[in-house]
Structure 1
C-alpha cells in the first residue's frame, strides 16, 4: 500500500514544484531511480539473504523519512488551501533565495483562481467538466498503455521466456541485463523529454515496443510450428534488448509524468486514484493468468495482442494527447477544454 502511494504522490509533488521548462526531466527521474533500485537489488541478490536485503533497503527509506521532513509543501497546494504567504515562502525556497519569483507567484495564483481550484473535485464534477473529463480519459489510457506494454509479464516470466528461446542465462543475470538497459533508457529519456517532447517519445516508444513484441510472437509461433529456430536464437535476445530500451524511453516513465500535466491539481488526486486502481488490478490479472492464457491461445498470440495494443496507444497519443512540454498545467487544461 505504501509503495502504491509513492506512484501517486511522488510524480504529483515533482510536477507541482518543478519549473515548466524542466518538469519533464525531473518527472522522468522518478522511474530512473526506480529502475536503479531494481538494478541494485539484482546486483546484490546473489550476495545477501532476503533478510539482509530487506534491512539494507530500510536505509534509504529511513534517510528519506528524515530528509524529506524538511522539504516544503508545494506552492499550488498551499494556494488552494488559502495559505498565500506560505506559498510564496515555499516557491522562494524552491527557486533560491536570490530568485525573483513575483511573476511566477502571481501567475500561479491567477491560474488557480481562474480555474476554480479551491477544493478537490469529486468524480461527478470531473465528468461534468469537459476539459477535466478529457484529462481523465488520457490518464486512464496512459495507465492502460503502461499495463498493455507487456513489461510486467516480461519481468515476471523472464526466466521462462529465456529458457523457451534456448538461452541458458540465469534469471539473476538476465534480470541484471534488463535492469541495466532500463536504466540506460530512462537516462536517455530524461535527456530527450524536454527537447523532443512527450508525444514524440510516447509514439516512438510504442511503435518500437510493438515491433519487438511482434518479433517475439513470430519467434514463438515458429517454435509452435516445430520449425528449427536454433540458428536464430539470437533474435529474441536482440528483440528483448531493444524492447527494454524502447519501453524505457517512453512508455515506462512518461505516463507518470503526463498524467500529472493533463489534470488540474484539484482533480489530480481522484484521477490518479482511478487510473492507478485500473493499472494495478490489470497488473494482478495479467501476472496471474498470463501462463494460463498462453497455454490456451499460445504465447505468440499473447505477444501479438500486446503488440497490436501498443499500435492503438501510439495512434491515441498522436490523435488525442496534447504536447505538454514546457507548458503551464493551466494552459494545457485550457486546450483540453476546447470543443
Structure 2
C-alpha cells in the first residue's frame, strides 16, 4: 500500500516539473493531463488481470506479482530518456494499483478475525498516505532516477517479506491442501477463532460451486447480490466523485492558480499530506469502534463543506475580488478535504469489499469494485482540466460536492453495518435484508 501511495504522490511534483521549460523531458499541458489519466486507463486492465490471477494463484501470490510489476515500472523511470518511458511506467502503475485494490483487503480479511478486521485493514490502508508523503518529498527534492531507485529498493524488500508469508486458509482449502490450511490457520493465529472443520466444509462447497461458471454468474441475478453490486460500485466511486485524486494530483497547480503565496506551494502540498497521515494514523480503530456507516457520513460532510468552500474561493477570485485575505480559506479547505477523505472514503470501501461478498463471488465483486473506482478516477482526472477551462474551478468543485451528496445518500440507505461481524454473519444479514430495488 505504501508503493500504491508513492505512485499517487509522484504525480503532483512531476506535473509541475515536467511542464517546466527546464525539465529534461518537457510535456505540454495536454500531455501532462494524459500523464495523470493514463494510470487510470491501466487500472481498467488491472482490474481484469487481478480477477484472473486471484482465481488462479490466490491473493498472496497475486500481491507478489503486483510487486514485480511495480518494480518494472520504477525501472522504466530509471532508464527514461523520453516521455514514452514515463507513460509506460504510469500505465503499469495503474495496472498494479487496480490489482492492489482488488486483493489486499480480501487477503487481510481471510487471515484475521472479525474483532480487529477493520482496524487491520485501516492500518494497511495507511500505507497509502505514508507513500504519498514519501513520494511527494522525494520527487520534490531528488532527481527522478535517484528517487525511482529508492522506490525500487523498498519494493524488493517488500517482495522478500511476502515470500515469508503463508497463503490464506481459504486458498489452501480451495486447492484441497488441508494440511497446509491447518498450518496457515496456526501461522496467522486464528485457530482459536475459526473451527477448521466448519471452514473446510464451507469453502469446499463454495469451491465446488465456483468451478461451475454458469452457476457463478447466476448468483448475480439474486436481488441481494444486485443490491450489493450497486452499493460497491457507488462506494468505490465516492472517493473519485468527491475529487480526491484530482485535488491531490493538481494540488500544486490549484494553489498557484489560487494565487496562494503564504508559503511555497510545493511545501504546502507536503504539509497538507503530512496532516492527512497524522489523522489517518489517529483513526485506525474508529472503524471497529463506531462502524462503517458513521465514518462514511463524517467523510461526506467534511468533503462536501470543503468543496463548497473551494468553490466560493475561486468564485470570488474570478469575480476579481481581493482574495489575498482569504488565502487561509483555500489551504484550510484543501486540508479539510484530505482529512475528511482519510477518515472514511479511503478506508471504508476496502473494508466493506472484504466483508460483503460471499467467497464464491468475492473475486468478481473485487473486480467490479475496482473497475468502478478506475472508471470514475479516469473520468474525473481526465475531465478536470477541460471542465476548468470551460466552467471554471468553482463550478467543478460544486459539481463534485453535488455528486458526493447523491452517492453518500445512496450508500448509507442501502449499506448494512458490518462492524464486528463474521463474514458468514454478514452474508446471513444480507440474505434477510429486503432489497429496495
Same-fold status (TM-score > 0.5): yes
* C-alpha distance 74-308 of structure 1, shift in aligned 2 (>3 A): same
Residue 330 of structure 1 is matched in structure 2 by 424
| 1:128-147 alignment runs, 5 A limit | 128-147=221-240
Where does structure 2 lack aligned partners over 5 or more consecutive residues?
Answer: 1-94
Could you tell me how far apart the structure 2 residues matched to 1:266 and 1:182 are?
36
Could you tell me how far apart the structure 1 residues matched to 2:183 and 2:102 are?
25
Aligned to 2:244, which of 151, 169, 174? 151
Q: CA RMSD in A?
A: 2.2
Residue 12 of structure 2 is matched in structure 1 by none
Residue 210 of structure 2 is matched in structure 1 by 119
Q: How many residue pairs were aligned? A: 336
| 1:27-176 alignment runs, 5 A limit | 27-95=121-189, 100=192, 103-112=194-203, 118-119=209-210, 124-168=217-261, 169-176=263-270
Contact 2:173–2:204 (CA under 8 A) maintained in structure 1 = no
Could you tell me how far apart the structure 2 residues matched to 1:295 and 1:173 are?
26
Residue 90 of structure 2 is matched in structure 1 by none
Aligned to 2:336, which of 213, 228, 242? 242
Q: CA deviation at 1:107?
A: 4.2
Q: Does 1:200 align with 2:294?
A: yes
> What secondary structure, in the 3-state scheme, does the structure 2 residue paired with 1:190 have?
coil
Q: CA deviation at 1:325?
A: 0.9
Q: Does 1:4 align with 2:98?
A: yes
Could you tell me how far apart the structure 1 residues matched to 2:328 and 2:281 are?
26
Q: CA deviation at 1:197?
A: 1.0
Q: Does 1:302 align with 2:396?
A: yes
| TM-score, length of structure 2 as denominator length | 0.72
| 1:306-321 alignment runs, 5 A limit | 306-321=400-415
| TM-score, length of structure 1 as denominator length | 0.91
Q: Which moved more, 1:234-243 or 1:110-119?
A: 110-119
Instruction: Give per-residue Cα distances to partners, 1:70-124, cap 9 Å, x unaligned.
Output: 211111222333333322221111007xx645x5334434544676774266773
Q: Does 1:19 align with 2:110?
A: no
Contact 2:241–2:380 (CA under 8 A) maintained in structure 1 = no
Instruction: Give per-residue Cα distances to partners, 1:3-62, cap 9 Å, x unaligned.
Output: 332222211111111110000011112320121112112222344211111111111211
* C-alpha distance 242-86 of structure 1, shift in aligned 2 (>3 A): same
Contact 1:76–1:87 (CA under 8 A) maintained in structure 2 = yes
Q: CA deviation at 1:141?
A: 1.0
Q: Does 1:229 align with 2:323?
A: yes
> What secondary structure, in the 3-state scheme, does the structure 2 residue paired with 1:133 have?
helix
Per chain length, whose mean CA-contact separation is higher, i.e. which structure has more relative contact order (CA < 8 Å, sep 6+)? 1
* C-alpha distance 84-132 of structure 1, shift in aligned 2 (>3 A): farther
